[in-house]
Amino acid sequence: MKRIVMATVLLGALGMLVPAQEAPAQVNVSVSIGGFYDELSPYGEWVDCDYGDCWVPRGVAEGWQPYTNGEWIYTRYGWTWVSSDPWGGDPYHYGTWAFIGRHGWVWVPGTVWAPAWVTWSYSDSYVGWAPMPPTVAFGRTGYSGSPVVMDAERYVFVPTNRFVGTNVSSIRMEPRRNAEFFRQSKPMTRFDVSGGIVRNMALPLATVQRATKARIETREITIAKTTPRPFASGVAGKNGHVGIVAPANEVKAVRASRQGTAPHAAAPEPQRQQQAKPQPQEPAKQQQTRPQQQQQQVQAKAQKQQEQAKQQGQAKQQQANQQDQAKQQQVHQQEQARQQQVNQQEQAKQQKAKQQGQAKQQQANQQEQAQQQQARQQGQARQQQQPKAQPQQPQPASEPRAHANQAPAVHPAQPQQDRQKAQPAGQEKEKDHNAGNKDQPSGEGKPK
C-alpha cells in the first residue's frame, strides 16, 4: 500500500507540473488499480485481453509461468507466496493470472487481497498449483465448494517433501509429466474469510509435515513483503459474491486516465518545437524538465532492478545446475559402486559354485576308485577261496561203456593212474577185455 500511496502522490505532483490537458470523462477510478498500473508499467505492457485490460510482464524466459520464481511459506493466513520477481509480489496477492494464446500469461487486476490466488492438486509425493481463473467469485465467508480444476498444463508440480522454503524454479518437475502427476493427485480449492481477510487453507498442513518428516514453522507475513487487507464491503455484488478481479470497465478507465496524463503525451512533438522559444545553450540535465528527470530515474531504477534480478536469476540457475550436476555425478558414482559390488558378488558366487563343483567331482572320483578297488579285492578273495579243479583222466577208447544199472566202482584213495602203472600191461588189457565181455549179453559182443 505504501507503493500505491506514493505513486498516487507522485502522479498528483506531476499533474501540477505538466500543463493541463483536456480532462477525460468522469469515471469511478479505483486508486488501488491506478497504483498497480503505475507500479507495473515499467516492467511490462498493458494490453487488451479476453478479460479487459491486462498486464504482460516483460523479459520473462520462454515457458515462464506465474508462481514459479519464488517460494512457499506457511503463515497464519495459510499458504503464502513469496515472490522473487523484480516487479514485486502484488500480482500474486491481488487479481489473478490467465493464459492468453497471443500474449501468454497475463495478469488480470483485482483489489481483493489473498496470500495466494491458486487452486491445488496434491498427493503424498507431489504438490501442484495453478492460478485461479478470473471468472471465480466467492461469498463473504469464503469458498469451500467443488474444487476449481484447471488443465493439467496450467499446474506447477514439485516434490511434497521439498515444497516449503525452496525456490520453485530449482525443484519444479518437468511440465511434460504434469498429466501423470495430475492423475495421481487430489484437487482441492478452499478460501476462508476471517475479519474480511482471505486465507488460503486448502492444502493440508499435515500432508506436507508427513512428507518432510518435520514440523512446518509458521512464518511472519512480512517475509512476503505484503500486507493483508480486509476487502471492502462495497466490492461485493448484489448477491453478496466477491470477484477475484476488478470490473473490466474500472480497469479500462484507469488505463485511459493514465495514458491521457502521461508526460510524453502532453503534446505532439511538432507543436512543442513550434512553441519552444530560443534559449541559451545549457547542459542536457538543465534542459530536462523535472517530470522527465523523474521518469528517467524511474526507468533507470527499473532497468537496474531488472539487471540485478537477471543476474540473481542466472546465479541461482547456475547454482541449481551445479547442484543438479553434483547430484547426477553422485548418483552415477553410487550406481557404479552398486554395479561393481553386484559384479563382485556374482564373481564370488561363480567361484564358490566352481569350487563346490570341483570338490563334488573329486569326491565322486574318489568314491568310484574306492568302489573299484573294493571290487577287485573281493574278486581276488573269491578266487583264493575256490579249490583248484582236478584235471579229468581220459578213458581208453576200447573200454566199454558201463551198464546203466551198474554202480560205479569204488576205488581206494590211491589215484587210478598210479594203480594202472603198477599192473602189468598184459593183465590190464585182459581184465578190460573180460570186463567188457561180462557186461554185454551173449551174442551182443560181436559187431554185426
Q: Are residues 303 and 260 in the same domain?
A: no
Helix axis angle for 2-17 and 31-40, nearest 10°, is 80
Q: Are residues 122 and 194 in the same domain?
A: yes
The answer to whether residue 426 sits within a structural domain is no
Q: Are residues 63 and 132 in the same domain?
A: yes
Q: Are residues 66 and 201 in the same domain?
A: yes
Rounded to whole angstroms, the Cα distance separating 154 from 131 reads 8
The tally of domains found in the chain comes to: 2
What are the cell numbers at 122?
496434491
Q: Are residues 258 and 296 in the same domain?
A: no
The answer to whether residue 369 sits within a structural domain is no
The answer to whether residue 96 sits within a structural domain is yes
Q: Are residues 159 and 240 in the same domain?
A: yes
Q: Are residues 244 and 347 in the same domain?
A: no
Of 264, 283, 310, the residue that ends a domain is 264
The answer to whether residue 381 sits within a structural domain is no
Concatenating the DSSP letter of every residue in 140-161 gives: TTEE-SS-----GGG-EEEEGG
Smallest CA-to-CA distance from 78 within 118, 110, 112 is with: 118
Q: Are residues 176 and 307 in the same domain?
A: no
The answer to whether residue 154 sits within a structural domain is yes
Tens-digit pLDDT profile for the chain (448 aa)?
A: 334 333 333 333 333 333 333 333 333 334 379 899 999 999 999 999 989 999 999 989 888 999 999 999 999 999 999 999 999 889 999 999 999 988 999 999 999 999 999 999 999 999 999 999 999 999 888 998 899 999 999 999 999 999 998 999 999 999 999 999 999 999 999 999 999 999 999 999 999 999 999 999 999 999 999 999 998 766 666 677 899 999 999 999 999 888 765 444 333 333 333 333 333 343 443 334 444 555 566 666 666 766 677 777 677 777 777 776 777 778 778 878 888 888 888 888 888 989 998 999 999 899 989 999 999 888 888 888 876 555 555 555 545 454 444 445 444 444 455 444 445 554 554 555 555 544 444 444 444 4
Q: Are residues 172 and 255 in the same domain?
A: yes
Q: Are residues 79 and 216 in the same domain?
A: yes
Domain residues for the domain of 162 are 2-19+27-264
Rounded to whole angstroms, the Cα distance separating 55 from 69 reads 18
Q: What is the pTM of this model?
A: 0.54
Q: Are residues 299 and 239 in the same domain?
A: no
Q: Are residues 191 and 316 in the same domain?
A: no
